[in-house]
Amino acid sequence: MPRRTSRNPLAGLLFLALLAVMGVACSGPDRSALPDCPDSARTCPASGSPASPGPAAATAGGPTTASPAASGTPTAKPTATAAPQTPSGAPAAQAACASFSACGFPDASTTGPRIALTPHKTGYMAVRENGLVIRGWDITGALDIYANDVTVIDSKITSDSWWGINLRPGFSGLRVLHSTITAVPGKGPDNGGVDYAVSNMGGSSIEVGWCDVSVFGDALSMGQGNLHDNYVHDIVPFVNLGGEWQHTNAVISGGGNTGELIIRHNTLLNPTGLKEGASGSIGLFADTGVVRNVTVDDNWIAGGAYALYGGSTGATGIKVTDNVFSTEYHPAAGGYGVVAHWNHSGAGNVWRGNRMSDGRPIQPEPAQ
């Protein structure tokens, strides 16, 4: 079975440590006075500006207070339902699904900022203020979070670092909502590449919702979190500092988590070529420990060597339900197949209601 390309983490870790030492603390940055726009709302009040930046960008004013907590509730499931049963008891084929947009999955129109943005050329920025809300910023740079309960909402980040947003160990409560996280291809620090759009190095769950994510090799990287209603697309492959094709995943988890990872109602596209480091659209790998307690529900999943890596023989509590695996890049969703390393016998593992975008029901092969 083909294996994903592994990275040598030493160079990256040394560089990250250097960045942390050199980082400048965030001492109460200015915050724009922006129209009230509830965190969980799909659209802003009529007084708000369009999502894309324009000449009507908000001007600086008094401090912005934290908005009410986002509900984190995924949108309704418009098309992905459990497969009906044939008289023999086997799942029956379902209706074909033309595209993720046509079938109600997230796209550019339902993700990203909902208000006009103000440019902030921050470069690398270490955030150290608990409860800080960054809203309405068009950031050129990257955020390194050394604080609790930080919210990034209705903003755009064009990264020039290893990540777009990174939560450091020992901190919690990060929320990234209604934002665009991207980079300039060929301008990142990893031999021109960029590694993580949102990285959770902390020991608790974070929330990433309604975000438009592109370019990064491993876009959403975490062992625990609530990832919902996001549009991950246009991943850009690159040869890393170690001289190897960097493995690419729309969502990646290295295992060893103690909490829960929820991946619900996202569009996850990995168009990377098989000879250019393609790994998975969702990669659940036992790199740093056992994979456990992961819910993969109601997503549109396409691309990778395998569309889904299921955690291997020790994985438990992995629930894969009502997902659509798309044929847009490969006839079997991934170049080599739909799923690899699925543990049929793992306690609490569930595979139910998953189908191809052309309507074919899917049953995984046992882990090898």
What mean pLDDT is reported for the chain?
80
Cα-based torsion angle of the residue sequence 103, 251, 306, 85 in order, rounded to the nearest 10 degrees: -40
DSSP 302: E
Lowest-pLDDT choice from 106-110, 172-176, 180-184, 312-316? 312-316
Q: Is the pLDDT of residue 44 over 60?
A: no
pLDDT (average), residues 83-90: 41
The strand pairing partners of 175, in sequence order, are 151, 207
Return the higher-pLDDT residue of 132 and 98. 132
Q: Choose between 95 and 283: higher pLDDT.
A: 283
pLDDT number for residue 39: 54
Strands 133-135 and 218-221 come out as: unpaired
3-class SS of residue 319: strand
Region 132-153: what's the mean pLDDT? 98
Helical spans, DSSP H, in the chain:
10-22
Q: How far is CA 245 from CA 5, 6, 198, 236, 296, in A?
A: 7, 9, 21, 11, 27
Task: Name which of 241, 245, 243 is nearest 217 in CA terms.
Answer: 245
CB atoms within 10 A of CB 338: 22
pLDDT at residue 41, rounded to an integer: 52
pLDDT at 49: 34
pLDDT confidence band for 57 (50 / 70 / 90): very low
Q: Which of 213, 207, 217, 236 is nearest to 162 (CA)?
A: 217
pLDDT of 232 strictly over 70: yes
**What does the pLDDT look like over 169-183, one tens digit per residue?**
999 999 999 999 999
Question: Confidence class of residue 38 from pLDDT cuts 50, 70 and 90?
Answer: low
Tell if the pTM clears 0.85, that is, is over it.
no
pLDDT at res. 258 = 78
